[in-house]
Structure 1
Amino acid sequence: MAWRSSGTSNASLVENLWRNKLITQPLVKAAFLRVDRAHYAPSSPYHDSPQYIGHDATISAPHMHANAAESLLPFLLPKVEEGHQSAEGVASVQGRKGRGRRILDIGSGSGYLTHVLAELVGEDGLVVGLEHILPLRDLGEANMRKSAEGRALLEQGRVRFRVGDGRKGWCEPGEEEAGWDAIHVGAAAAELHEELVRQLRAPGRMFIPVEDSHGEQFIWTVDKDAQGEVVKKRLYGVRYVPLTDAPKG
């Protein structure tokens, strides 16, 4: 269905992804409608296909970004804690917000999915886009500044772009023990890096492509439950650029 999901505008692209059941969650559809892919893709922004963005990097096809967002959705939405006993001794939901959601987008590239994730986490959330070279970090931020909504997210500190080795995860200065509710990895790792698993909150989820010993790549989800138990699940085959050292020269 992916090859039939291209459109002539952002709205038609998203509608076709929805019609072909590549987006199935209304909240994800709404977030994709709020982020114009033309601000992030260098050409043919409404084609459901990956595109080269320079520096040995690509922007993934929209259906892959949609799949990642839907997989991570339970760990993206603003958390509401169930309430305490009322005066009559009856449990009720108070609607109090829990701790803000924290999302790490490794290999953020164009910044497109970073922006979509920020639309989903809400006003109290934080999304950090992590890249291994400064030009890609700068590209993501510059693309986000093309829209008023993107500029507001940056100015409010709800989205931050950083440079670092994604294989080691990321800790914001002064927030070393905060961890991440969700980690998205947009490049193929050589293994399920344990440092990334360690940085997951409990509960938390990671969405990551991993290359096996035969050179084949598969999407994995790594779930950590509230007790810290980890479950790893292989999903389906993909083709991503590798999660590696910064290019030489």
Structure 2
Amino acid sequence: MDAIDAAFAAIDRRGFLPEGTADPRVDAPIEIGHGQTNSQPRTVADMLRLLQPHPGQRVLDVGSGSGWTTALLAHLVGASGEVFGVEIVPQLVTFGARNLAATDQPWSSIRAAAPGRLGLPQFAPFDRILVSASPPELPQQLVDQLGPSGRMVIPVAGEMLLVRRVGAEVEVTRHGRYRFVPLHA
């Protein structure tokens, strides 16, 4: 079992869904309220494999929603790492933080997004950035938060991008079409 599969086995999606929602075993996005979704497991797995998080890394999870991806990332980086979830919907900040706390991974947290600002520049640089909402174009605000050799996975205008910092340069590769809720600053 690879690290991604092990994280999925350890972090049960059921603990991140509102009561009475669809079957968490279904490979589909599930509504979590406020116009947001808990992403399709196959999509999350694809994104995590592109991201390649490793133990000890500092990770930013943009659009943390119910906290599921934040918890998966926390499992992947372990107690020697640090995961910062950020969410724009206040009710989901509370919901996600409560769900995340139940996983007993104190090296991870979810906080409210600052209006008009993407990510958490005050905590940058990050080794990895996962974005679970789609902007119309690649946001420079997030690219600027990538550390040396950093990787960001982000759906931009329906296309999954892997953004890698290589020295002073930034390389972008495309990895298929996906649908996500819009990213708002």
TM-score (norm 1): 0.69
1:160 is displaced (CA, Å) by: 1.1
Give ranges in structure 1 of 5+ residues lacking alignment. Answer: 1-24, 79-99, 212-216
- Structure 1 equivalent of residue 172 of structure 2: 232
- Structure 1 equivalent of residue 57 of structure 2: 101
- Structure 2 equivalent of residue 131 of structure 1: 87
Give ranges in structure 2 of 5+ residues lacking alignment. Answer: none
Contact 2:70 2:100 in 1 (8 A): no
How many equivalent residue pairs?
181
Contact 1:167 1:193 in 2 (8 A): no
TM-score (norm 2): 0.92
Larger RCO: Structure 1 or Structure 2 (Cα < 8 Å, ≥ 6 residues apart)? Answer: 2
Identity across aligned pairs (percent)? 38
- Structure 2 equivalent of residue 160 of structure 1: 109
1:69 is displaced (CA, Å) by: 1.1
Partners of 1:49 and 1:191 in 2: CA distance: 25
Partners of 1:229 and 1:191 in 2: CA distance: 18
- After TM superposition, the structure 1 = structure 2 runs for residues 88-237 of structure 1, keeping only pairs within 5 Å, are 100-145=56-101, 147=102, 150=103, 152-153=104-105, 156=106, 158-165=107-114, 168-172=118-122, 175=123, 178-211=124-157, 217-225=158-166, 227-237=167-177
Q: CA RMSD in A?
A: 1.6
Name the SS of the counterpart of 1:168 in structure 2. coil
- Structure 2 equivalent of residue 84 of structure 1: none
Contact 2:164 2:170 in 1 (8 A): yes
Query: Which one has a bigger Cα radius of gyration?
Result: 1
Partners of 1:122 and 1:116 in 2: CA distance: 10
Q: 1:71 aligned to 32, 37, 50, which one? A: 50
Higher strand fraction (1 or 2): 2
